[in-house]
Homo-oligomer: A and B are copies of this chain.
Amino acid sequence: MNHEIDLSKYQIRTDLVLETIENQIENNGFEKTTYKENDIQVTQVTLDEKSAHMIDKKVGDYITIEFQDITDFHNRENVKTIVTKELQSLLKKANVKKEDRCLVIGLGNKKSTPDALGPCTIDHILVTNHLFLLDTPEDGFRQVCAISPGVMGETGIETSDIIYSVIQTTKPDFVIAIDALASQAISRVNKTIQMSNTGIHPGSGVGNNRKEISQETLGIPVIAIGVPTVVDAVTIVSDTIKYLHKFYAFQKDFINHPMRKMIYDGHINYLNKEVELNENDKKELFGIMGHFTEEETKTLINEVLTPIGYNLMITPKEIDFVIQHLSDIIGNGINQALHEKVTH
């Protein structure tokens, strides 16, 4: 029996730079700084031309905010504070001035909960542009417009075409766009906010080469804010296989009697333990599959699930409550970053 496997490339979909970087064996000189505040992990990555090219992402700054439970009021407030702070830092880096006009764009489909983050965030945005038409409002407020352009299935129109035309009409000085993303790891779904100054590709998930909305194409800063709200089944399976290796390694290490639970009570989080299975164990436990890389595993699972129609994009059962909280956090974070006078 011949065990070579012809692994055709599984087109892995992730919108998160942190995930792309993690998959790289070497650090390749990315500029990366991290800090932790109130249990929230913030990672700043800057890609130059070389490093961006290497991982097929765009040149620019990427900020990843990782948090746990946003059903808790205080955690929500803490995340909101960091969203505001990091957004302000991106705006400053982009030389956005106090009087610059902003267009906020809520991408996605209001009628599909896991895709509704953008439109729901727009509902929280403090829109002021029309007030400036009548009068000069109180100091401390910026001119802000906001739109939810919908999705092509609803409008029949390329979303990027709508955005382009609205930008040409309203002539903002910078753009902030919010969208729901796909992740490559269960652990990040609904628990990560990514911000970058590298623009957006509306509808890019579908696989078409849509027009890019970015500083390069428009000449104005375009800041993207996204949260992964879905993963595919392939990811869930491949993550589990990864955890399975870790689980066995941990058990072997923990009780020195691999596979036999003794004092282990099932409540230890083994993920942050520094243990590894050796090659022999892998072979014995998992056969040939034990030697696959993560990418090979994903490719294989994709080949298994796709032809039978089970490579679903999925979302946790609680998605309605999550979207409600996340749109509040991001919407209010944007308001505070844009308007000096807004402080809560």
Residue in chain B with minimal CB distance to A143: B156
Q: CB of A115 within 8 A of chain B? A: yes
Q: Please report whether the interface of chain A is mostly helix, strand, loop or mixed according to DSSP.
A: helix
Q: Which of A285-344 contact B (CB under 8 A)?
A: 285-290, 300-301, 303-310, 312-321
Q: Give the contacting residue for A162; candidates B152, B153, B156, B169; CB below 8 A.
A: B169
Q: Nearest B residue to A321 by beta-carbon distance?
A: B112
A148 shortest CB reach to chain B, Å: 8
In A104-130, the 8 Å CB interface with B consists of 111-115, 122, 127-130
Q: Is the CB of A286 within 8 A of B287?
A: yes
0/1 string, A253-297, CB within 8 A of B gives 1: 000011111000011111100000000111111111110000000
CB of A259 within 8 A of CB of B5, answer yes
Q: Which of A18-26, A46-54, A80-88, A232-240 contacts B (4 or more CB under 8 A)?
A: A232-240
* Contact of A243 with B by CB under 8 A: yes
Complex interface: chain B residues within 8 A of A144 (CB): 156
Q: Contact: A156 with B169, CB < 8 Å?
A: no
Q: Is A150 an interface position by the 8 A CB rule?
A: yes
> How distant is A292 from chain B, measured CB to nearest CB, in Å?
11
Q: Are B1 and A258 in contact (CB under 8 A)?
A: yes
Residues of B within 8 A of A156 (CB): 127-130, 143-146
Does A147 contact B127, Cβ atoms closer than 8 Å? no
- Whether B157 and A169, one on each chain, are in contact in the complex, defined by CB atoms closer than 8 angstroms, is yes
- For A116, the closest partner residue in chain B by CB is B320
List the B side residues contacting A187 at CB < 8 Å: 310
CB-defined contacts of A224 to chain B, threshold 8 Å: none
CA distance A286 to B283 in the complex (A): 8
Contacts of A233 in B (CB 8 A): 186, 236, 240
Q: Does A154 contact B (CB under 8 A)?
A: yes
Q: Is A161 interfacial (CB-CB < 8 Å)?
A: yes
Interface residues on A, range: 35 or more
Compute how far the CA of A252 lies from the CA of B128 in the bound complex, rounded to whole angstroms.
44
Q: Contact between B281 and A112 (Cβ–Cβ < 8 Å)? A: no
Given A112-B321, A317-B314, A165:B155 Cβ within 8 A: no
Distance in angstroms from A243 CB to nearest chain B CB is 5
**A36 interfacial by beta-carbon distance below 8 Å:** no
From A165, A257, A268, A283, residue with most partner B Cβ within 10 Å: A165
- Interface contact B155-A127, CB-CB below 8 Å: yes
Contact of A268 among B257, B267, B307 (CB under 8 A): B307
Tell me if A4 is interfacial: C-beta within 8 Å of chain B.
yes
Cβ of A27 < 8 Å from any Cβ of B?
Answer: no
- The 16 sampled A-B contact pairs (Cβ below 8 Å) are A1-B259, A1-B281, A3-B284, A112-B321, A144-B156, A162-B166, A186-B233, A237-B241, A240-B301, A240-B310, A244-B300, A247-B304, A268-B307, A270-B307, A271-B308, A285-B287
Starting from the known contacts A112-B321, A113-B113, A145-B155, 7 additional A-B residue pairs (CB-CB under 8 Å) come to A2-B260, A3-B285, A146-B155, A247-B304, A269-B309, A312-B317, A315-B315
Task: Name A's B-contacting residues (CB within 8 A).
Answer: 1-6, 8, 111-115, 122, 127-130, 143-148, 150, 152-158, 161-162, 164-166, 168-170, 186-187, 230, 233, 236-237, 239-241, 243-244, 247, 257-261, 266-271, 280-290, 300-301, 303-310, 312-321
